[in-house]
Homo-oligomer: A and B are copies of this chain.
Amino acid sequence: MPGIPMIKRGDNLGRVIGEAIRRSGLRLEDGDVVVVAQKIVSKAEGRIVDLSRVSPSRSAVELAGRLKKDPREVEVILRESKEIVRLGHVLISRTEHGFVCANAGADRSNAGPGMMTLLPRDPDRSARRIRRELERTFKRRIAVIISDTWGRPFRMGCVGMAIGASGMEPLMRLRGERDLHGRMLRTTVLCPADSIAAAAVLVMGESGEGTPVAIVRGARYRPGRGGIGKVVMPPGRDLFR
């Protein structure tokens, strides 16, 4: 989606995106998924911190030395972390949402000089608001995903991940298969929310500079209420906690 202007606090993202779609001569169709980069959602919601106003705690200063980071950045990351999951050359933490990611999702890139963006407080709600606005405007049933760009254990390089979803089931259960004796072998659960976010980030670029919105058409998913919490692995099932 070309033509998204610079976003500032208080902007109605659904309206801004709808106007950009109209201006570009596009329209939305039933089943389209509108993927919106976390960075502009955080800016619109004021989830942005001026580092010059942050006083790092003693533990943030110590950790910053080890990580070779700005102590104020580390202070912000610690405030956004519910739990430190791993500490090495990067800081991996679990956020209030249950996400496990580097730096609790706090990030300086494209945040503006001396600023750091935080993840939206409730990315599902952010997605829902944008979806409702776009559905009213275009009279179509769509889904909205809020995407971020994360690293993964065991694999080099970042990919798009869904941190919020509305209008779609983020997971999709495939029919189990049966063996010769008709016994159910297994059921596979796919994550179309993450797959669509990964596809979108391919055209958006990391943190969506320039292109913070993409429209994905023809993706296979089930409409539903959404709720990215279903993608957060319960700690009891998580072998890598």
A231 CA to B195 CA, complexed, in Å: 18
A90 CA to B201 CA, complexed, in Å: 30
Question: In the assembled complex, which residues on chain B have CB atoms less than 8 Å from the CB atom of A196?
Answer: 202
Asked whether A9 is an interface residue with its Cβ less than 8 Å from the other chain, the reply is no
B interface footprint on A137-157 (CB within 8 Å = 1, 0 otherwise): 000000000000100111111
Q: How large is the interface on A (under 10, 10 to 19, 20 to 34, 35 or more residues)?
A: 35 or more
Q: A154-B100, A202-B220 are in contact. Are A86 and B230 (CB under 8 A)?
A: no
Evaluate contact between A191 and B238: CB separation under 8 angstroms. no
Asked whether A26 is an interface residue with its Cβ less than 8 Å from the other chain, the reply is no
B interface footprint on A79-114 (CB within 8 Å = 1, 0 otherwise): 000000011111010000001100000001110011
Closest B residue to A160 by beta carbon equals: B195
Q: Closest CB of chain B to A54's CB: distance in Å?
A: 15
B interface footprint on A222-241 (CB within 8 Å = 1, 0 otherwise): 00000000111100011110
Question: In the assembled complex, which residues on chain B have CB atoms less than 8 Å from the CB atom of A32?
Answer: none
Question: In the assembled complex, which residues on chain B have CB atoms less than 8 Å from the CB atom of A157?
Answer: 170-172, 189-191, 193-194, 231
Q: A113-B179, A177-B109 are in contact. Are A192 and B188 (CB under 8 A)?
A: no
Interface centre among A89, A92, A159, A237, by most chain B C-beta atoms within 10 angstroms, is A159
Q: Closest CB of chain B to A195's CB: distance in Å?
A: 4
Q: How many copies make up the complex?
A: 2
Question: In the assembled complex, which residues on chain B have CB atoms less than 8 Å from the CB atom of A174?
Answer: 205-206
Return 18 A-B CB contacts under 8 Å, by A number: A86-B239, A90-B239, A100-B154, A108-B185, A113-B179, A114-B179, A114-B180, A152-B153, A153-B233, A156-B191, A156-B230, A156-B233, A158-B188, A159-B195, A188-B206, A188-B207, A194-B198, A195-B199
Which A residues fall within an 8 A CB radius of B?
A: 86-90, 92, 99-100, 108-110, 113-114, 149, 152-161, 170-172, 174, 177, 179-180, 185-186, 188-196, 198-199, 201-203, 205-207, 218-220, 230-233, 237-240
Give 19 A-B pairs besides A109-B186, A156-B189, A156-B232 with Cβ atoms closer than 8 angstroms.
A86-B239, A99-B154, A108-B179, A113-B179, A113-B180, A114-B179, A149-B188, A149-B190, A153-B240, A155-B231, A156-B171, A156-B191, A157-B194, A157-B231, A159-B190, A160-B195, A195-B201, A198-B198, A240-B240
